Amino acid sequence: MNPGDGAQKPIRLIAAACNNLGIGKDGRLPWNLPSEFQFFLDTITAVSEPGKKNLLVWGRLNWFSCPEGVLPLDNTLNVILSKKLRAVPKFAHYLCEDFDSMVHLTLQPTLSDLIETIWIIGGTEVYREALKHPWCDLIYLTDIMADFDCDVFFPSFDQNIYKKQSSFPGIPDEVQEENGIKYQFQVFKKEC
């Protein structure tokens, strides 16, 4: 796989994390921020060309923790990374054993022209693999400015490589507040 072959797609991570980079507890979000969640949904379903799709990449546990009624999402295809699953669950489109298999899938003729962006939805190991991939260019990481008890965490990453942007098109700069919780949308861009 040559990242410069023209078939590569941008790989982007998206998550919301509290002060200790916690992203979940017992298979759920530890906070209730409907506007932040709507931003997440709007971001991962946005395509620039009609007919294009975004590929959403989920770890198995993350897939099964998705709240009822969220799926299916417009303009998306879902791939689950799992060595355990043998059948593609409802609303999923593909099953891959690992991250490299998913990347290979996106290079196939049926998907290479269809997919616009690869969005990494989580969990921790999927995020960690994506951060190492040469196609990964942006991290959308909402800063939940509070402490929550979490058992799943966003991986730490090198902020000399992924630099926080002072402003980014379409991303509100100001601190938001909902249900007494402050948060701020952030985008980190790969600089090397």
Q: Annotated catalytic residue: which of 13, 36, 56, 129?
A: 36
- 116 catalytically annotated: no
- 13 catalytically annotated: no
Helix segments in 46-183, DSSP class H: 60-64, 99-106, 109-112, 124-132
**Cβ-Cβ contacts under 8 Å for 49 (sequence gap 6 or more):** 116
Q: Annotated catalytic residue: which of 29, 71, 85, 107?
A: 29
Helix segments in the chain, DSSP class H: 34-45, 60-64, 99-106, 109-112, 124-132
> Catalytic amino acids?
29, 36
